[in-house]
Structure 1
Amino acid sequence: MPQKKTNIILIGMPGSGKSTIGVVLAKSLAMEFTDTDILIQMDQQKTLQEIIDGQGHMALRRIEENVLLKINCRNHIVATGGSAPYSHPAMNHLGRDGIIIFLHADLPALKSRIHNYETRGLAKRPDQSFQDLFDERSILYKKYADITVKTSSHTQDQVCDDIILQLDQSPFIPLTSRLQREFNTIKAMVKLYCNEHHETEDIICNECSELVEYSRDRLLCCPFQEKKSTCGKCVVHCYKKDMQKKVIDIMRYAGPKMALKHPLMAMQHFIDSRKKPPGLSAHAGNSRTKLNSK
């Protein structure tokens, strides 16, 4: 049985409250607290701005990646720098034993909180405006987030209460490798559909994000785990009727496009689909009752 993750990873823009909320959250949950910007400065014996001034913003991102990849802890709140999601290896590393929470503050709130934009040590291009940086990073934050919590109009205590509530409701047990592969395929198809039908460019809208989260919940309950064929061939129909209709529409649209957009993923999905669907054991039959009640 997969184990629950032990760390909480906070991501978000500078000014979203990662460091301050991280400390309050650590006290509330009796966990340790780590601020990766401080780790970088201790490692380099320089401030973030001094690193940028001397070596450039890309050097800071490389240093940040190296520091993040060295993190090896349990039961910690980890507040990352705003540029952490630029590193896919680092985010994967943090996500192995960490629930990634995006602290989402809107642009007006961030501008009201940040008054030292040019000297804060932001890993950005010299000609990049704060608006451009916000737009660019928002896509990355949403990509890696397990949970999103809005912070614009809430106090620190309210944000912490919201985080704790969502953690209680969503334990985020990691999927097995087979189910993770199925989830990645579903998410890719939803994104293709959403980008075309909801004109969202490179992100997924709120309605489609709900479907993605729902599909993950269903996979967590799957009785077949590593023996699973594909959802389309499954003998257990675990989706609610409205969600089932949505996902069928999405698969009909996005399925034929997967070979072009995601050829490796499409090939692996085809291989998985050739597996004979396992039969329902007595245990799986009990699971079916639970699945259909959701």
Structure 2
Amino acid sequence: MTRPVVVLIGPPGAGKTTVGRLVAAELGMPFTDTDELIETEQQMSISDIFVERGEAHFRQLEADAVARAVTTGGVVAVGGGAPMTPATAELLESMPVVFLSVTIADAAGRVGFSSARPLLSVNPRATWTRLMGDRRPTYERLATWVVETDGRSAEEVVGDVVAEVRGS
């Protein structure tokens, strides 16, 4: 089994997809975003999957997508809730993981808490804060490295992630 060089975790708005694409380009490796993988395979948006099939169905699709993605090598970004699934968390424990940490102020500016983020569609700021409170201990436990993203450009964050991966 090929292992990823790095798996990016963090809440909505942390920059997992943007940073992941740039890290993969910098390292000359493939990039896999598990949310994009799910949307392509299901031919529907994550939001529509939540509405039409429910969160439990989405979480199963997500766990399957993560399990497949981490066998392809390269750089992998997983959905914000993926590490909360016990099987996914167990899988990530043996991987090189970067937790992209972000505060609500920066996250809100990046994602705008749109309806494309189903768990944030009702009272997005309060929901994000609650989700982050629930998820942060898991993110921190799984993290090989924590990279702060607040007030920083994607390029600055990428520099830190690449430095960690390369051990410099």
TM above 0.5, yes or no, is yes
Question: In structure 2, what residue type is equivalent to 1:121?
Answer: R
Gaps of 5+ in 1: 171-294
The alpha-carbon deviation at position 123 of structure 1 amounts to 4.6
Q: Is the contact between residue 86 and residue 140 of structure 1 (CA under 8 Å) also seen in structure 2? A: yes
C-alpha distance in 1, partners of 2:29/2:148? 22
Q: Is the contact between residue 11 and residue 79 of structure 1 (CA under 8 Å) also seen in structure 2? A: yes
Question: Paired residue for 1:158?
Answer: 156
C-alpha distance in 2, partners of 1:34/1:168? 19
Question: Per the alignment, do residues 153 and 106 of structure 1 end up closer, same or farther by CA in structure 2, a change over 3 Å counting?
Answer: same
**For residues 188-203 of structure 1, what are the structure 2 equivalents within 5 Å?**
none
Instruction: Say which is worse superposed, 128-137 or 37-46, in terms of deviation.
Output: 128-137
TM-score (norm 1): 0.51
The alpha-carbon deviation at position 153 of structure 1 amounts to 1.2
The alpha-carbon deviation at position 169 of structure 1 amounts to 3.4
> Which of 15, 18, 24 matches 2:16?
18
Residue 89 of structure 2 is aligned to residue 65 of structure 1: no
Runs of 4+ residues over 4 Å off in structure 1: 123-128
> Which of 84, 108, 113 matches 2:110?
113
Per-residue CA deviation, residues 108-147 of structure 1 (Å, 9 max, x unaligned), is 1112222244x12345796872221121121221121111
**For residues 110-259 of structure 1, what are the structure 2 equivalents within 5 Å?**
110-117=107-114, 119-123=115-119, 129-169=127-167
What is the alpha-carbon root mean square deviation over aligned residues?
Answer: 2.2
Question: Paired residue for 2:84?
Answer: 86
Question: Per the alignment, do residues 95 and 32 of structure 1 end up closer, same or farther by CA in structure 2, a change over 3 Å counting?
Answer: farther
Per-residue CA deviation, residues 81-102 of structure 1 (Å, 9 max, x unaligned), is 1111111212332444x31100
Question: Per the alignment, do residues 124 and 58 of structure 1 end up closer, same or farther by CA in structure 2, a change over 3 Å counting?
Answer: farther
Gaps of 5+ in 2: none
Per-residue CA deviation, residues 49-84 of structure 1 (Å, 9 max, x unaligned), is 00111122222112211222223212x110111111
Residue 99 of structure 2 is aligned to residue 102 of structure 1: yes
Q: Is the contact between residue 92 and residue 142 of structure 2 (CA under 8 Å) also seen in structure 1? A: no
Question: In structure 2, what residue type is equivalent to 1:120?
Answer: A
C-alpha distance in 2, partners of 1:35/1:116? 19
Larger radius of gyration between Structure 1 and Structure 2:
1
Question: In structure 2, what residue type is equivalent to 1:63?
Answer: L
C-alpha distance in 2, partners of 1:95/1:39? 22
Question: In percent, how many aligned pairs have the same letter?
Answer: 27
The alpha-carbon deviation at position 105 of structure 1 amounts to 0.7
TM-score (norm 2): 0.86
Per-residue CA deviation, residues 25-62 of structure 1 (Å, 9 max, x unaligned), is 11111111111001111222211000111122222112
Question: In structure 1, what residue type is equivalent to 2:84?
Answer: Y
C-alpha distance in 1, partners of 2:107/2:131? 12
With a CA cutoff of 8 Å and minimum separation of 6, indicate the structure with the bigger relative contact order: 2
How many residue pairs are counted as aligned between the two chains? 163
